[in-house]
């Protein structure tokens, strides 16, 4: 089992897996970094993205429309969630924020279950990316290859927004000191709303990108949420580059461990997290907290 | 030591006698009050007996997965239970053929179901059943779609002295090393499936093949994999080239499939279940592994074909409890499929059939025993009488409380051969149960006490 072909295959597979985790985690970490809200509904947003995309696909038959509709819908849900509920929790204890987002996650999941049932739904990959590709050392589903490209492009776009735009500058400044940003005459709360929307959109986008790989069901967000948290902890809470690095590390750990003993892949992921926490309590690229 | 204690030594013999008499008197009173027991008075209170059967209604607690990887199968199972309860309470003809002595209820009582979501997690199931015991004085428990839940409820049932009607559970251990006096299983399981599907595989595909196994990481997965592998290696000279063990609830199987792609296997024996099976079957196709490698599903999954589509299940062999087209052969099956379809608008999968049968058998045993007193009901099961079911005549094996029943081998139909939207499987063979089971003590079953 442990030969070069398999090793290369698993490294590559880890990259694809890690890219997706990085994208979902970046949304979580942007929201936490900027707003200080630990959004436990993030997994449910990932699921919502998948369902919204599936509905759009059902009507139009276009994957591109599904991708856009899925992301925009979840962004809208994120913005509404922030306006209607989350903003009343900014100044409340973190336990309250965790409870309210956890509760909202359950509401989202059960609403979807009520309307669509538990049977899984499939969104086929676009015609261009169907079939398998021979990479020389392995054959790999073409869509998974494409999803690596899509995810990389999305992460790049997020990076550009965060590091090359005025909005991004305000967001990053807000992470450091939101009071100071506010006193400079910038409407911090409008920015917060946008940040929540963008964070949610990242999850929703990932949800629909992932739908052709893993068909969607109401519970898909639950498992991914746990992995996302591990990624964020490894990379450093509140750090965008940390989420990307953490995602890639997690993907590789899961893939490579499974080559030796599949049963230990997730165990090793938690071992890695523990080691990081011991060695660097704030994560690999994290800084000593925002408080 | 307390006996040398000064205070104890200071007590007079008279005081002790008085206190003793008083204690005995006060203990006599409530015992006679709370346990009217039977006429003979030799049946002390036990579990929820007799409190649970004193009202007009008796309750059965069901903990089925309504969320998580087994949610789809759990819903089907629950519908089977609900239909059975309805049939028991109305004295339905179908149910009367299995339990002739029911008459608008069991022993003059209506039956009601109380339900909770187990999410296929043992802790959730046990906690909910405990709540049902406290709140509803349930006289029987059911529900499980994961054998991990079944094994946990086996132990819990034995401790609480409440009957447990195993729902879906494919692990050898459920009536093997983790069996219980208070627990009964109707459905087929790993060893029976292996012995039924093994000959079909060797006959259809030949000897000396290389197989990759996909195993969910808990009692069901490990025992089914072992049974199937034991059969194929000893009887067919097959070789297990890799065994990919994944946790229950895995979504992305890519790392496991990558290993299988590099293993040189010709067959994938997929032991995953529920949503895990749906996803692993879909992803094996994405990776181009199937149909180049043949897929075998030793323990069939309700709704698999509906979820992945006939393109992915075409030609796949699977062992199962029941498939609705068996209505052509068995009149009881026809009556059940018709009643179920009328009520729920789809044809039942085997989870529903299994759940319905468990309730029907329970109604039979209680009404034949003429009492809800658990040890008497258990002894009724242990008589090992033959009774009708949807798959012909069956009986319980007293040594391990496993039903002796046939295993059904099905093969996935091509989309073009389907006569209706639910005609996914063709019944290839119905293998009689007697020859499929291990000896009663082979998996270490030791039933516990009655009281």
**In the predicted model, what is the mean pLDDT of residues B354-376?**
97
Residue B390, Cβ neighbours under 10 Å: how many? 28
Chain A within 8 Å of B284 (Cβ-Cβ)? no
- Closest by CA to B365, choosing from B121, B36, B107, B18, is B107
DSSP state of B51: G
pTM (2 d.p.):
0.87
Chain segment B269-326, per-residue pLDDT in tens: 999 999 999 999 999 999 999 989 999 999 999 999 999 999 999 999 999 999 999 9
Q: Give yes or no for residue B22 having a pLDDT over 60.
A: no
Closest-CA residue in chain B for A117? B72
Beta strands in B66-219 (DSSP E): 110-117, 140-142, 163-165, 183-184, 210-216
The distance from CA A44 to its chain's CA centroid, rounded to whole angstroms, is: 11
- Closest by CA to B360, choosing from B327, B394, B383, is B394
Chain segment B161-203, per-residue pLDDT in tens: 999 999 999 999 999 999 999 999 999 999 999 999 999 999 9
The CA distance from B348 to B84, in Å, is 13
Q: How far is CA A266 from CA A10, A257, B215, B246, B405, in A?
A: 15, 9, 16, 10, 39
Q: How far is CA A73 from CA A70, A84, A269, B322, B448, in A?
A: 5, 16, 32, 42, 56
The CA distance from A175 to B27, in Å, is 69
Residue A157, Cβ neighbours under 10 Å: how many? 12
- Which token pair is B120? 């296929």
Q: Which residues of B touch A214 (CB under 8 A)?
A: 251-252, 279, 283
The CA distance from A285 to A235, in Å, is 6
> Per the CB < 8 Å rule, is A141 touching B256?
no
Model confidence at A239, in pLDDT bands (50, 70, 90)?
confident
Closest-CA residue in chain B for A222? B68
The CA distance from B297 to B305, in Å, is 12
Give the pLDDT score at B186: 97
Angle between helices B71-90 and B331-344 (to 10 degrees): 110
The CA distance from B343 to A56, in Å, is 32
Q: Give yes or no for residue A8 having a pLDDT over 90.
A: no
Give the pLDDT score at A261: 81
Taking only Cα atoms into account, the Rg of chain A, rounded to an integer number of angstroms, comes to 19
The CA distance from B301 to B399, in Å, is 28
Chain B within 8 Å of A161 (Cβ-Cβ)? no
Closest-CA residue in chain B for A20? B252
Across-strand partners of B245?
Answer: B215
Q: Which residues of B touch A143 (CB under 8 A)?
A: 286
The CA distance from A11 to B47, in Å, is 56
- Closest by CA to B389, choosing from B349, B354, B424, is B354
Q: Which residues of A touch B278 (CB under 8 A)?
A: 120, 215
């Amino acid at each position: 089992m442990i030969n070069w072909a398999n090793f290369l295959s698993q490294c590559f597979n880890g990259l694809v897996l890690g890219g997706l985790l990085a994208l979902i985690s970046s949304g979580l970490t942007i929201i936490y970094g900027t707003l200080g809200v630990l959004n436990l509904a993030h997994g449910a947003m990932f699921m919502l993205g998948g369902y919204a995309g599936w509905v759009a696909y059902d009507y139009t038959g276009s994957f591109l429309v599904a991708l856009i509709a899925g992301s925009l819908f979840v962004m809208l849900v994120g913005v509404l969630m922030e306006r209607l509920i989350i903003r009343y929790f900014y100044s409340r204890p973190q336990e309250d924020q965790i409870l309210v987002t956890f509760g909202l996650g359950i509401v989202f999941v059960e609403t979807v279950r009520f309307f669509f049932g538990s049977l899984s739904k499939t969104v086929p990959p676009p015609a261009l990316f169907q079939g398998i590709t021979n990479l020389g050392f392995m054959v790999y589903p073409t869509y998974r290859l494409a999803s690596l490209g899509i995810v990389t492009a999305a992460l790049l776009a997020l990076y550009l927004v965060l590091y090359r735009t005025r909005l991004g500058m305000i967001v990053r400044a807000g992470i450091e000191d939101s009071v100071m940003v506010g006193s400079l005459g910038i409407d911090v709360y409008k920015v917060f709303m946008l940040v929540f929307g963008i964070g949610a959109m990242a999850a929703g986008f990932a949800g629909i990108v992932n739908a052709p790989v893993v068909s969607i069901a109401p519970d898909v967000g639950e498992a991914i949420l746990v992995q996302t948290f591990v990624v964020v902890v490894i990379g450093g809470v509140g750090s965008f580059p940390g989420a990307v690095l953490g995602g890639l590390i997690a993907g590789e750990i899961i893939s490579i461990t499974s080559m030796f003993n599949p049963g230990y892949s997730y165990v090793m992921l938690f071992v890695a997290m523990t080691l990081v926490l011991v060695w660097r309590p704030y994560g690999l690229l994290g800084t000593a907290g925002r408080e | 030591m307390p006996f040398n204690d000064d205070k104890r030594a200071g007590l007079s013999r008279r005081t002790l006698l008085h206190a003793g008499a008083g204690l005995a008197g006060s203990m006599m009173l409530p015992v006679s009050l709370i346990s009217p027991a039977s006429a003979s008075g030799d049946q002390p209170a036990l579990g929820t007996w007799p409190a649970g059967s004193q009202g007009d209604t008796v309750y059965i607690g069901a903990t089925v997965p309504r969320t998580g990887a087994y949610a789809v199968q759990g819903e089907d199972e629950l519908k089977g239970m609900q239909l059975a309860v309805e049939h028991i309470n109305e004295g339905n003809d179908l149910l009367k053929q299995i339990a002739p002595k029911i008459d608008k209820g069991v022993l003059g009582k209506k039956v009601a179901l109380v339900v909770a979501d187990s999410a296929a997690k043992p802790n959730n199931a046990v906690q909910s059943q405990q709540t049902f015991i406290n709140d509803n004085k349930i006289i029987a428990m059911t529900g499980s779609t994961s054998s991990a839940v079944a094994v946990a409820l086996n132990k819990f049932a034995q401790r609480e002295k409440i009957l447990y009607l195993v729902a879906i559970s494919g692990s050898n251990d459920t009536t093997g090393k983790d069996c219980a006096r208070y627990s009964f299983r109707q459905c087929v399981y790993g060893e029976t499936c292996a012995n039924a599907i093994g000959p079909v595989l060797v006959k259809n595909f030949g000897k000396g093949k290389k197989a990759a196994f996909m195993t969910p990481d808990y009692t069901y997965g490990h025992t089914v994999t072992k049974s199937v592998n034991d059969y194929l290696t000893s009887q067919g000279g097959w070789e297990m080239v890799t065994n990919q063990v994944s946790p229950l609830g895995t979504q992305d199987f890519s790392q496991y499939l990558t290993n299988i792609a590099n293993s040189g296997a010709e067959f994938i024996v997929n032991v995953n279940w529920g949503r895990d099976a749906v996803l692993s079957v879909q992803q094996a196709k994405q990776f181009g592994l199937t149909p180049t490698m043949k897929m075998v599903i030793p323990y069939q999954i309700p709704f698999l074909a509906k979820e992945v589509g006939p393109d992915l299940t075409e030609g796949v062999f699977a062992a199962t409890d029941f498939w609705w087209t068996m209505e052509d052969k068995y009149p009881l099956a026809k009556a059940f499929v018709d009643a179920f379809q009328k009520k729920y608008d789809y044809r039942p999968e085997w989870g529903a059939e299994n759940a319905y049968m468990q309730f029907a058998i329970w109604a039979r045993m209680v009404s034949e025993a003429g009492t809800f007193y658990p040890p008497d009901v258990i002894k009724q099961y242990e008589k090992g009488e033959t009774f009708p079911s949807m798959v012909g005549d069956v009986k319980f094996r007293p040594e391990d409380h496993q039903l002796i029943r046939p295993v059904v081998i099905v093969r996935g139909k091509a989309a073009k051969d389907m006569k209706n939207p639910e005609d996914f499987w063709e019944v290839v063979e119905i293998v009689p149960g007697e020859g499929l089971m291990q000896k009663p003590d082979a998996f270490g079953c030791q039933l516990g006490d009655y009281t």
